[in-house]
Amino acid sequence: MKLYKKIYIKLLVYLGKAVDISSSGHYPADVLSNIKGNKFTIDGIECGSMEGFLQALKQDDAETQRHLCALKGREARRRATRDWQRDQRLWWQGQPIGRESDEYRALLCRAYDTLFEQNVAFRMALLSTKGKRLFYSHGRHNPKKTILTEQEFCQILTDLRAKNADRKTFGTGSRH
């Protein structure tokens, strides 16, 4: 990332106009990080973090996926593989999904929707960013090298926040 953009983001954060999502950041940036142990269950599979879910998508074996989904952030990240980059194919429940397909985008959105619905801490953190721009300055930009770009991540969260703008912070969902 260009130095001027990093400075610009830091300035917006300092002025209270933005959140730069980071596991080492201050609330709510840390809670919104995929590394955070925000538990949720999708399609009957328990996830210890969004990072666990994302790393599991790189595996075609359902049992390996289930195991990776259960992991919390840093532990899941340590299990990362780049094998998927050869053919740009990811997997969910035994089904191949093209990295840049509409089907993949829909799966990502559904996973974040599920996390939002089931995890009060994540929901509160996202709703607390109302009126602020979301950044992930540590993220990658090339979709051929990462399964979730900075732009995709921030857009999914921004759309999710907008869709739920009038919602009460607690509402339904478990307190994972």
CATH number, domain containing residue 121? 1.10.357.40
State residue 170's pLDDT score: 53
* pLDDT tens for each residue of 131-161: 999 999 988 899 999 999 999 999 999 999 9
State residue 168's pLDDT score: 64
Q: Tokens in use for 5?
A: 């953009």
The average pLDDT across 25-48 equals 97
Eight-class DSSP state of 145:
T
* pLDDT tens for each residue of 57-104: 999 999 999 999 999 988 988 888 889 999 999 999 999 999 999 999
Report which of residues 153 and 176 the model is more confident about.
153
State residue 175's pLDDT score: 43
State residue 73's pLDDT score: 86
Residue 64 lies in a domain: yes
* pLDDT tens for each residue of 109-139: 999 999 999 999 999 999 999 999 999 998 8
Residue pair 104/96 in contact (Cβ under 8 Å)? The answer is: no
The average pLDDT across 48-55 equals 97
State residue 174's pLDDT score: 46
Residue 174 lies in a domain: no
| Residue 61, domain extent | 3-163
Measure the N-to-C terminal CA separation of the chain; round to a whole number of Å: 34
Question: What are the φ and ψ backbone dihedral angles of 95, each rounded to 5 degrees?
Answer: -110, 130
Overall number of domains in the chain: 1
Q: 115: number of CA atoms within 13 Å, CB side?
A: 32
Q: Tokens in use for 132?
A: 């602020």
Residue 96 lies in a domain: yes
- Average pLDDT of the chain is 93
